[in-house]
Structure 1
Amino acid sequence: MERVPVLFCVIPVYNEPSTLEPCVERVLAAPLPPAWSLAVILVDDASDAETRAASERIVRAQSGHPGRVELLGHIINRGKGAALRTGFRRVLERCADESDAVIIQDADLEYDPRDFASLLDALPGGGRAAVYGNRWGMPGPAALKRRLHRSGNRALTWLSNLLTGYRIADMECCYKLIPVPLLRRVLPQLSENRFGIEPQLTAVLSREGAEVTEVPVRYDPRGFAAGKKIGARDGVRAIWVIVRERLRRAPRQETTE
């Protein structure tokens, strides 16, 4: 029987007791193209007891499906970027084929996993291209809510495009779909622990010569009162990361004669 490629969904988790379980339910119920299967990797970034209990309930509920949901954890809070790198390393340990891919999913309910299918449909073959979501490409609440946040996002995306050569509309979008062959090259170059992982990942993809395609995705933004964690200092850090990464060179590739 021909092997079906696996979409590994990495979910960094930090203090999301009310949204984590419905989020994972949506992920597990998301329709995928017939050629794909799904595995979820939760990375608990030293969350509170309620969130940790929710993570453990999710894993127990899937105990009849080995490998479908896996829970990893940090002893101390290290940030979204560190959680993603932990999840990415686990993906590379588990993947059995270069046709597998990884997608990032936040643990809140801002993003809709029903968009996984359109992101996968847009993924080119060859393992040298990534697919990003674009929150501003689809009509809905995102067009009206959090205008200041959107303005800041546009500014960061503009600067990122200026220094990477991409023409991305939404560099900070959570949904980033990366094939395993590309992830193998990118992961050793990632070091950001917090939200600076978004511009760093984009810059590293550019250094690796990867193409980036965008697909409109659904987005229902929440405010800080509802638990949103990114703030002004993360924007300042993002600017520094974008400039710093532009000055770095891609690591030398070993050659054999």
Structure 2
Amino acid sequence: MIPVYNHEHAITAVVHAVLAQDVDCILVDDGCSPACATVLNELHAAIPARVSLLRHASNQGKGAAVMTGFVHAAEAGYTHLLQVDADGQHCITDIPRFLEQAQAHPQAIVVGYPVYDESVPALRLYARYLTHVWVWINTLSFAIRDSMCGFRVYPIAPVLALMAKQTLGKRMNFDTDILVRLYWEGADIINLPTRVAYPTDGVSHFRVWLDNVLITKMHTQLFFGMLWRLPRLLLRNWRGRS
């Protein structure tokens, strides 16, 4: 499943790389420009049996697009959903490694942690560590190596159950928010290294002020959520060490 917002220069190569791994592809057009929407239409029309296309009338955010993909995947009868980004930063040839782990551990979430090359902006690399620290605090563990990488495999049922009872972040706060909350629900995390480059089309939709405000609000909410889960989290970690 690929959430797409104006990555018309990268998405064709990403989709073909995904299809080459012998998996079907769900595209979610999150209010794209006409140029990008045209590219998505062409991809869907070329292989409609393997490429599904869902649409938001206006941009709702990456998290909202991913959640739309989850609902569609469940309705189509899938048990798991593999998420990658549309900008070409992920190593698509790693998909078999992720699916292999998901098959061996069907109840777990398989989460990529980035192995960067020289293309990564230094500021972005160091800024990620602030989120890492908050995630370690809010889970009272180091179980999640990187909560921001958008390359991961989810079992669909626990995600839908979480969506039914919890409002999740709809924008760039989604990837961290859902992972911490699924961990709180008892999900196991499998961390896999994967190469990440920044990005092939040079487009980033991270909005410095708004997204940082949303991420700060998310970490604050997760912190207070952790406090009243403190006994349960400590017990889980003690059992894990035992």
Give a deviation string over 1:165-200, Cα, whole Å, max 9, x none.
Answer: 341221100112111233232332343221010121
**Secondary structure of the corresponding residue to residue 172 of structure 1:** coil
Percent identical residues:
24
Distance 1:126 1:169, change over 3 A: closer
How many positions carry a matched residue from both structures?
224
| C-alpha distance in 2 between matches for 1:44 and 1:243 | 30
Report the TM-score when normalising by structure 2: 0.84
Q: Which runs of 5+ in 1 are unaligned?
A: 1-9, 31-36, 251-257
| C-alpha distance in 1 between matches for 2:83 and 2:133 | 22
| C-alpha distance in 2 between matches for 1:104 and 1:232 | 23
Shift of residue 219, structure 1, vs aligned partner: 0.7
**Relative to structure 2, which stretch is displaced further, 237-246 or 147-156?**
237-246
Distance 1:128 1:228, change over 3 A: same
| C-alpha distance in 1 between matches for 2:121 and 2:195 | 15
| C-alpha distance in 2 between matches for 1:118 and 1:165 | 28
Report the TM-score when normalising by structure 1: 0.80
1:229 aligned residue? 205
Match of 2:169 among 185, 192, 205: 192
- 1:163–1:243 contact (8 Å) kept in structure 2: no
| C-alpha distance in 1 between matches for 2:188 and 2:103 | 9
Q: Which runs of 5+ in 2 are unaligned?
A: 230-242
| C-alpha distance in 1 between matches for 2:25 and 2:3 | 11
Give a deviation string over 1:49-80, Cα, whole Å, max 9, x none.
Answer: 111010011011103xx2x1110101111111
**Secondary structure of the corresponding residue to residue 217 of structure 1:** strand
Distance 1:59 1:199, change over 3 A: same
| C-alpha distance in 2 between matches for 1:162 and 1:237 | 18
Give a deviation string over 1:134-184, Cα, whole Å, max 9, x none.
Answer: 103xxx515x62111011111101111111134122110011211123323
Give the superposed CA RMSD: 2.2
1:92 aligned residue? 74
- 2:147–2:175 contact (8 Å) kept in structure 1: yes
